Chain A
Amino acid sequence: MAQQGNVGELLSMLDSPILGVLEDITAAFKDNLICDRGPMLVNSLVDYYLETNSQQALHILSTLQEPHDKHLLDKINEYMGKAATRLPTLSLLGHVIRRQPSWKHKLSQAPLLLSLLKCLKTDTDVVVLTTGVLVLITMLPMIPQSGKQYLHDFFGIFGRLSAWCLQNPGHVAEIYLVHLHASVYALFHRLYGMYPCNFVSFLRSHYSMKENLETFEEVVKPMMEHVRIHPELVTGSKDHELDPRRWKRLETHDVVIECAKISLDPAEASYEDGYYSASRKSCTNLKHHQTDPSASHYIDTQSSYGTSTPYSTPRLTLSQLPGQLPQILSPQSIKLSTEPQQVTIWSPSAVCGMTTPPTSPGIVPSESSQSTSQPYSKAFGTSAVGKGTPLGTPATSPPPCTSDDFVHVSLPSAAATPPKKEDKPDSGRPSLYRQQNVISSDKSLDTSGSKSSVTLSDLPEFLGGLSFEDSAEKDREEDAISKEISEITTDAEHMVPRGGFDSPFYHTNENLSGSQKKTQSVVSSVQGHSLTSEPLTSSLDKPGPESALETPKQTFTPIDKPCGGSGESPAGNREGTSGETSILTPSPCKASAQGRAVFGSGQPPLYEHLFEVALPKTAYLFVGKKTEELLKKAKGTQDKDCMSSTSPVEVLDRLIQQGADAHTKELNKLSLPSKSADWTHFGGSPPSDEIHTLRNQLLLLHNQLLYERFKRQQHALRNRRLLRKVIKATALEEHNAAMKDQLKLQEKEIQALKLSLQKEQARYHQFQEEHEGIVAQLHSQIRQLQHDREEFYNQSQELQTKLEDCRNMIADLRLELKKANNKVCHTELLLSQVSQKLSNSESVQQQMEFLNRQLLVLGEVNELYLEQLQHKHTDTTKEVEMLHAAFRKELEKAKLCVQQQSQRLDASQKRIAELESQLSKKDHLFLEQKKYLEDVKIKARGQLQAVESRYRAQKRITQAFELEILNLFGRLENSPLKKLEDEKTEAAEAAEERLDCGNEGCADTVAGYSEETIDRNGETKPPSTRGSSKGGSNSELSTPEKKTEPEIQQSLGDLHVAGALHYCPTDCRFTPQLQELPWYEVTRVVSQQK
């Protein structure tokens, strides 16, 4: 309880006017929220906010952290259910969501979303619907993938609201419908941007129904004219675009930009595509181009600030415009509120302008342009055209025409003309503007007075004279501008050459209403004039402000990007200076450099341009600093006008709310310069009602404003990121440059090396030549020396031959000497021999003499002995000789005998051998014979066995026959055929005889067989045996077939015959012929014989 009380106190103190207390209280709440996890505090805060609409409470609520989100959402959901609190709850939700809390992904699961959808589907209050739709649109990019389950709810809501726009079932004020229409349009963009395939298929199915056809024609079709074909329609599919992977990479602002990309509407569209595609290729060029105009603006502004540079005003004004426009506009509008044209403008700019002089130029104008345009379209029933025109003029050609038309149709001619005049003539009316601009720049806000001096009526005069002049003067600038624009925007119209511009201008001069066909360049150049002229003419035309407002946008969109990164402009400055910063910042190097150059007198940095080359990285920082300085300056100038230094967002919100209050007060005093007000006045509706309407409108406007702010934040986020990319790119460029430098250095080195190489080569050549010379010389020397050597060689050879000759001679001489010596020696030897011989012969002679004497003595002795011997016996020798001869003869005889004996022995031995061999042969023969015999025996035995078995068989056969016969006889005897007996007795007897004989034969054979078996030498069988056997065979033969008794008889007869026949031969012997014949032949022969 204490705590609750505490909370109550705190809540009451929340809106205290003292800043210190405020901060303390806020801190206390935040502490509480951190400590307390219960829903109580949040609930009380929400209640408090709904009661008091307190900004502090809203601030705290919108910055709630994670654990409290559920309570907050539950609370909001709870209040959403109640019709009374629905609207404030929605706006609270909008505030919370726009903060993009960290728990935004939980939204898709929260029941709040369902109830929001339900509310949008069922509610009939336009204000609630519009607010709800805006909240939904804001929410969609935050929950792209989780929102898909509600896709058909979204589409359903779209269908419902678009139908609502047309049919107006609640019969609410048209003015609300305008808001609703705008929000539906935004929803259309969002849905188409996020889920093109599904959305298109929904559109196809939904508007194919007849009852919806009208809605399509009137509402949806015009919307579709402002979107290009979504690439997903070609490449994607229904499932693919719902794929969570598609959304995973994209942040909220990415989704917003994605949606903006496909829009052709300048109010919605993003030109990033063009920017990217062009900038990627020629980033620096584009920068230059872009910077050119801005630079010139800058110069102009500077000049206008410092000194008066008259001719460059138009762009000057432009640059200043954003900040000053509303101030310029609003007073005028208020003053000239009676104008019929103003009636049409229920635009917030007008409303806001009335009450609040300083507003953010970036946001307010755009909103106003939208809102203002819409009423128009609504009012004149050409919603599509109406919408298209204001937003589309710069981007597309048709809208201008249509706007022309509608201007013609709707507006009074007097009102219609001025804008055209302003637009076109503006370009040709420098002098006038110059003056104005000079003034306006000098005193920024005091211009109203001077401006008012120039009236609409004056314009045509200026037009005629100055259009050419102006164009000529600005040829250069406009060329640059046109280039820039042609690169930025893809519209073909912008590419129209300079000459093309002129001709339409003439036309317009003559035909004021005829052509609003001006290219972007013209617009941009003109805008300043148009804006300034507007106040002059004091006819708050739509086209005027629109075009004026568009220009900032167009210059804004591309240029705004760097703003976030480089500018770092404080939030407070944004409103007032965004226009300036946007222009200043994008031209990082050149703009600043040029600006400095021109600016030079006042500012020191003449060296600035060096930064571009030397320090590309630092250039940005530098530019940032510079721009800040400039901003401060501008602020300084502006500070005079708008003293508000608080956060612009808060200021804006507060302003609008306060303005609403002031407005209600004033409403009673003044008649509003609004058409609806007129209507209400004329319609006679009570003023309270009107107040209510206005309040609602204001609320709506506020919502719209918040939505647009949200969008702008998204853009800012994106811009920051893009700037980072640019910085990276430049860093890379720098790196490239450094690499190029290195490359150059290396090339130089290479060249130096080449030079030294050439030198070395030359030296080498020289050395080689020298070397060759030396070599040649040496060669010649060698040759000479060789020649000498050969000569010497020959000489030495000659000498050698001589030497040899000498040697030979010496040898010969030596030989001769030897021979001579030999001879001498020989002779000496001979001499000594001879002397020896001589001495020998002498001694021999002496001996011979001695021997001769001996011989003589001996001879005499011998003669004496011989004489003695001859006297002795000579007879025994003869006997011995005889004996010898006899013995010799005997020996010879014995030898002969022996020879004869040996010869005989040999012969007999040979004989014996022969005989032995013969004997062995015989033995062999015997053996063979034996074998053969045995063989034959075996063979015979084999055959014999066969025959024997045959014979035995025959015997068996006969036995069988006998048996049979006996059998038959037995039967015969027993049979009654006695009469036959007599006749057959003879035959029977004969048969018996036969049988006996057979038996005898058998016995014989048996005996024969036994004999045979005993005597194995195989005696021939007795003839009786053969006969009997033959007989058997014959008898067998002669008994063919007999089966009956008579036959048997006959067979017996036959047997008898056979037996007779058989017996005959035994006596008379068969002829050998018959014996050889087979038995049947025999029988035949026998029978023949018979």
Chain B
Amino acid sequence: MAHHIVQGHTEHIRDMQESVMADDSQRNFRSVYYEKVGFRGVEEKKSLEILLKDDRLDIEKLSTFSQRFPLPSMYRILVWKVLLGIIPPHHKSHALVMNYRKEQYWDIHHALHVIRFINDSTPQVDVFLRIHQLESGKLPRNLAYPLEPEDEVFLAIAKAMEEMVEDPIECYWLVSCFVNQLNSKHKDSLQQLPKILEQYLNIEDSKLLMHLKACAAMSKLPYDLWFKKCFAGCLPESSLQRVWDKVISGSCKILVFVALEILLTFKMKIIALTTAEKITQFLENIPQDNTDAIVSKAVDLWRTHCGTPAHSV
């Protein structure tokens, strides 16, 4: 009997491996070539669809996929919701759970309405914030209370998310869960990021680092904007969501590389600036025209330094 069980177990493992392998084998053999030429994500959509067809969604596979490839925009919200635990991995319970979520949202919304924290004219982002506060039990005594720094972070992320997601309920849940994830899962690593940034900057461009240090700007870089708000408000949404793909799928190191790439891209300008304030100000308001390229380069840089994320079983 034990033998059978062992056999079954190995079969199970093999199944899993095969399904992972299917990722590669079912990919078009040309995809390597496509990548070389520069077209990325030609075949990813198909493999993602295959992944999403599984009844019980494999969250790990999805996160690995999200780390390795850019997500197609049509599946992005779904993947995010799954990865953030807004909906369970079972397709059947999606509707039910979403219904719960919806009810919860409206319940809280109603309650806030009742206690007059919000009204019809309250901006959506504030509504989200209040709901979040209520949910996390941090609702201030009244509206006059000043906003906490974490509320600012929430607002920034919510603003960005609002641009990406249409449905307010989904949007709220995504923001809320994203912020929760940041606060719980990445809390420790986020604090390490400035150091890591300095370390990689030294590898990539020591001159720039010297300059920044000379200006004493290293400590004054907009770390809050970059690592706490995850570039919300810094990059335009189209670029931002590609960064968030990686963050949501579990890697907050990408943030370092985006920051690094921003520094490298605007190296000339930064070197031209001599005071820390100016540098900070410039970096807080970087030009928005070439951010896609920055993100692409950042992803490449991330790959080269951290290697291709492998699927760990």
Contact = CB atoms under 8 A, between A and B. Distances in A.
Contacts of B103: 950
Given A939-B88, A953-B104, 19 more contacts: A923-B5, A927-B5, A927-B8, A938-B56, A938-B90, A942-B93, A943-B93, A945-B85, A946-B97, A946-B100, A950-B103, A953-B107, A953-B108, A956-B135, A959-B137, A961-B111, A964-B114, A967-B141, A1036-B107
A765 interface: no
Interface string A906-942: 0000000000000110011001000000010011011
Given A935-B56, A957-B134, A943 B104 contact: no
Given A920-B4, A927-B8, A942-B89, A961 B97 contact: no
Interface in B130-159: 134-135, 137, 139, 141
Contacts of B87: 942
A919 B1 contact: yes
Interface residues of B, number: 32
Contacts of A658: none
Contacts of A942: 87-90, 93, 97
Residue of A920, A939, A1039 with most chain B CB atoms under a 10 A cut-off: A939
B185 to A, nearest CB: 16
Interface residues of A, number: 31
Contact of B4 (A923, A956, A1036): A923
B138 to A, nearest CB: 10
Contact of A923 (B1, B108, B112): B1
A961 B100 contact: no
A1039 B114 contact: yes
Q: Which 6 A-B pairs have the closest CB atoms?
A: A942-B88, A957-B111, A946-B100, A950-B104, A946-B97, A939-B90
Contacts of B56: 935, 938
B57 to A, nearest CB: 10
A621 interface: no
A927 B1 CA distance: 12
Contacts of A949: 100, 104, 135
Given A943-B96, A957-B134, A1041 B4 contact: no
Contacts of B90: 935, 938-939, 942
Given A943-B93, A943-B97, A945-B85, A953 B135 contact: yes
B297 interface: no
A960 B131 CA distance: 11
A938 B88 contact: yes
Contacts of B135: 949, 952-953, 956
A333 B115 CA distance: 164
Contacts of A1074: none
A98 B88 CA distance: 133
Nearest to A968: B115
Nearest to A942: B88
A32 interface: no
B186 interface: no
B108 A938 contact: no
Nearest to B114: A1039
Contacts of A924: 8
B100 A947 contact: yes
Contact of A960 (B12, B88, B139): B139
Contact of B108 (A939, A947, A957, A1039): A957
Given A946-B97, A956-B137, A961-B115, A919 B4 contact: yes
Contacts of B97: 942-943, 946
Residue of A953, A964, A1036 with most chain B CB atoms under a 10 A cut-off: A953
Interface of B, secondary structure class, is helix
Nearest to B111: A957
A954 interface: yes
B113 to A, nearest CB: 8
B93 A960 contact: no
Given A919-B4, A946-B101, A956 B134 contact: yes
A224 B135 CA distance: 130
A956 B93 contact: no
A572 to B, nearest CB: 112
A946 B95 CA distance: 12
A938 B91 CA distance: 12
B295 to A, nearest CB: 32
B44 to A, nearest CB: 26
A964 B111 CA distance: 11
A967 B114 CA distance: 14
A318 to B, nearest CB: 113
Given A923-B8, A945-B85, A960 B134 contact: yes
Contact of B114 (A919, A950, A956, A961): A961
B170 to A, nearest CB: 14
A960 B5 contact: no
30 contacts: A919-B1, A923-B1, A927-B5, A927-B12, A935-B56, A938-B89, A939-B92, A941-B88, A942-B87, A942-B88, A942-B93, A943-B93, A943-B96, A946-B88, A946-B96, A950-B100, A952-B135, A953-B134, A953-B135, A954-B104, A956-B108, A956-B135, A957-B107, A960-B111, A960-B112, A960-B134, A960-B139, A967-B141, A1036-B107, A1041-B114
B1 to A, nearest CB: 7
B96 to A, nearest CB: 6
A923 B1 CA distance: 8
Interface string B102-133: 01100110111011100000000000000000
Contacts of B137: 956, 959
Interface string A1032-1047: 0000100101010000
Contacts of A1036: 107, 110-111, 114
Contacts of B110: 1036
Nearest to B55: A935
Contacts of A1043: 116
Contact of B88 (A927, A943, A952, A957): A943
A287 B139 CA distance: 143
Contacts of A920: 4
Interface in A1029-1081: 1036, 1039, 1041, 1043
A967 B117 CA distance: 14
Nearest to A1033: B107
Contacts of A952: 135
A737 to B, nearest CB: 92
Nearest to B110: A1036
A950 B111 CA distance: 13
Contacts of A960: 111-112, 115, 134, 139
